[in-house]
């Protein structure tokens, strides 16, 4: 198992744990007999735990090998996943999710940092395919729970079994991560400091992209049924098409970056997503909307991997990557509720037009963000076209 394959496995496992938890949410709501609003508040604790852990992990990555940090971080989520499964009530579930969210946030930052390190050492873009592995892991985790429940297994038992399987695979994969690392500063560097200008720009774009992802995930189904008159049976096709577009585009993303450039892929993807979403909102027809959501998924699919890769080129790399990850994750958490508020005040079509404008900003400012991050070191600079971009 090569370091690239081992890192890909870590991305898959992290996605599988998230998919496994997402599949548990409806069962947790039924078990505790709480409202959707209450379970929504509980779920925020998972995000809160991640927000605390991400910058701390970035600080550690500036002083420790990314492989070493990932070896430890990858083992925590499957073990701590047992806490929300065993929670006897909503309050204890919230506390358990805060702990699990912190573990997941640490692994997220560590695996992306190591992915950037392996990419830099190998001289070829790999971040898009790594994120594709995460997407497929999420599908596998959720699918496994759905299948187990269909055969009459208790979802918590199925979740515990999935966590055990993830732990066993993680124990093997994390011994093959190689020696690549992002470690780039001395122990005398400041413990914590504000992100630099390039990092803030990359983080802002990541915020816009992940806001878009969250908005399509949460509101595409409602848009189809409430705004364009699609049947309730077809409500899931919007997000399904969006997810399919993202997965396929991420599989092809590394090759596109090698043939063109990271700037070209980011900018072209932004314009594709913005144009497709504009057509969806202007035409207002179900079939056009579903096809448009597929194209939006294709357009934004490689933005986050490319922005993470750029953040890893801004020293200190670990802290820069953690800052971008935290800012971007904030967009995924707060973006959809903001769209809901705008939809209540105006219309959902008008609210989603704000998302369209956000993607336009990514297309306009994406090239500048990648230039300010600097060229990738070693052979990757030529392959990714970064040298030409400067």
The lowest-confidence range among 17-31, 248-262, 355-369 is 17-31
> What's the CA gap between 50 and 124, in Å, rounded?
30
**What's residue 384's pLDDT?**
40
Residue 195, CA distances (Å) to 54, 128, 321, 322 in order: 14, 24, 10, 10
Q: pTM for the complete prediction?
A: 0.78
Residue 339 near residue 353 (C-beta atoms within 8 A): no
Confidence at 49, pLDDT banded by 50, 70, 90: very high
Binned at pLDDT 50, 70 and 90, residue 280 comes out as very high
Query: From the CB of residue 325, how many other CB atoms can be counted at a distance below 10 Å?
Result: 27
What mean pLDDT do residues 314-343 have? 84
Alpha carbons 339 and 101: distance in angstroms, whole number: 24
How far is residue 288's CA from residue 283's CA, in Å, rounded to a whole number?
A: 7
Q: Give the pLDDT band (50/70/90) at residue 36.
A: low
Q: What is the mean pLDDT of residues 330-347?
A: 85
- Going along the chain from its start, the domains and CATH numbers come out as 3-173 (1.20.1250.20), 197-389 (1.20.1250.20)
């Amino acid at each position: 198992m090569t370091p690239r394959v081992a890192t890909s496995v870590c991305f898959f496992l992290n996605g599988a744990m998230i998919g496994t938890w997402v599949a548990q949410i409806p069962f947790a709501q039924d078990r505790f007999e709480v409202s959707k609003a209450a379970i929504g508040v509980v779920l925020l604790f998972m995000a809160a735990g991640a927000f605390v852990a991400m910058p701390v992990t970035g600080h550690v990555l500036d002083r420790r090998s990314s492989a070493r940090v990932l070896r430890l971080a990858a083992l925590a989520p499957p073990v701590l996943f047992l806490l929300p499964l065993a929670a006897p009530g909503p309050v204890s579930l919230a506390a358990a999710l805060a702990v699990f969210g912190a573990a997941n946030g640490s692994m997220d930052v560590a695996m992306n940092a190591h992915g950037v390190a392996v990419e830099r050492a190998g001289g070829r873009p790999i971040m898009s395919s790594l994120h594709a592995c995460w997407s497929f892991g999420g599908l596998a985790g959720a699918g496994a729970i759905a299948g187990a429940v269909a055969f009459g297994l208790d979802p918590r038992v199925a979740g515990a079994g999935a966590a055990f399987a993830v732990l066993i695979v993680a124990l093997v994969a994390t011994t093959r991560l190689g020696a690549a690392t992002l470690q780039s500063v001395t122990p005398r560097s400041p413990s914590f400091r504000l992100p630099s200008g390039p990092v803030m720009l990359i983080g802002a774009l990541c915020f816009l992209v992940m806001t878009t992802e969250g908005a399509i995930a949460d509101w595409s189904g409602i848009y189809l049924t409430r705004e364009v008159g699609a049947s309730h049976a077809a409500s899931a096709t919007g997000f399904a098409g969006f997810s399919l577009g993202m997965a396929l585009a991420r599989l092809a993303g590394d090759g596109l970056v090698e043939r063109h450039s990271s700037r070209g892929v980011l900018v072209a993807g932004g314009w594709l997503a913005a144009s497709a979403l504009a057509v969806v909102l202007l035409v207002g027809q179900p079939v056009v909307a579903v096809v448009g959501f597929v194209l939006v998924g294709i357009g934004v699919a490689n933005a986050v991997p490319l922005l993470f890769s750029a953040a890893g080129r801004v020293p200190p790399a670990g802290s820069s990557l953690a800052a971008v990850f935290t800012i971007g994750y904030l967009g995924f958490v707060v973006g959809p509720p903001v769209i809901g508020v705008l939809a209540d005040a105006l219309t959902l079509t008008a609210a989603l037009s704000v998302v369209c404008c956000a993607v336009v900003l990514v297309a306009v400012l994406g090239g500048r963000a990648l230039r300010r991050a600097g060229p990738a070191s070693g052979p990757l600079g030529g392959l990714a076209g970064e040298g030409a971009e400067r």
